[in-house]
Amino acid sequence: MNKKRIEIVNNLSELESLVAFVQKTSDEWNLSPKLRFNLNLVLEELVTNTISYGYHDIPNQDQTINIVMVLDDGKLSITITDRAQAFNPVQKEDPSIHNKSIEEREVGGLGIYLVKQLMDEIEYKREDGQNVLVLRTELKD
């Protein structure tokens, strides 16, 4: 079993460290270009969401976001943990995107939808004041 971990602070400038983390991990684990792309996207969407909305009104807490990636037996899991406001992306309603004209399409709301589409499984729990999100995908190619 392979395991990698990164802790970032609640600031959008941390996206750069996240990109470097995904790059390094993907190189070491020899992940496909498709999976690298998807990991970048999934992490960016979720972390950006937490940074943009999650820590409002709770300024004095530990404002870090923890990311653990595990590769085991052809399966990859990502666990994201933070102390931000409770937010369950699994329950977030999908944007309506089909058969919509340009005028009808709403700007935004796509991030979580993309995450759900690109991962095989997504699980959320609120535990000890923390958001714990686990995402899983298989290494298909």
Partner 1 sequence: MNCEVKTIVDVTVLSLSGRLDASNSKEFEDQVVKLIDSGQKAFVANLTGLDYISSAGLRVFLLLIKKLGDKGYIHLCCLQEQVKEVFDISGFTSIFQIFDDEDSAVEA
Span near partner 1 by CB under 8 A; candidates 10-18, 74-82, 85-93, 128-136: 10-18
Q: How far is CA 5 from CA 18, 65, 140, in A?
A: 11, 11, 23
Give whichever of 34 and 125 is closer to partner 1, judged by the CB atom.
34
- The SS3 call for residue 113 is helix
Please tell me the distance from the alpha carbon of residue 48 to that of residue 65, in angstroms, as a whole number: 11
Please tell me the distance from the alpha carbon of residue 61 to that of residue 58, in angstroms, as a whole number: 6
Query: Please, what is the minimum distance in Å from the beta carbon of residue 60 to partner 1?
Result: 25
**Contact code string over 95-124 relative to partner 1, x by CB under 8 A:** --xx-x-xx-x-xx-xx-xx--xx------
Using CB under 8 A as the binding rule, the residues of this chain from 60 to 89 that contact partner 1 are none
Asked if 39 contacts 119 with a C-beta cutoff of 8 angstroms, the reply is no
Tokens for 49, please give them: 């969401």
Query: Please, what is the minimum distance in Å from the beta carbon of residue 72 to partner 1?
Result: 25
Using CB under 8 A as the binding rule, the residues of this chain from 15 to 44 that contact partner 1 are 15-16, 19, 33-34, 37-38, 40-41, 44
What letters, b where the CB count within 10 A reaches 16 and e where it falls short, cover 64-77?
Answer: ebebebbbeeeebb
Summarize as ranges the residues that interact with partner 1 (CB under 8 A).
12-13, 15-16, 19, 33-34, 37-38, 40-41, 44-45, 48, 97-98, 100, 102-103, 105, 107-108, 110-111, 113-114, 117-118
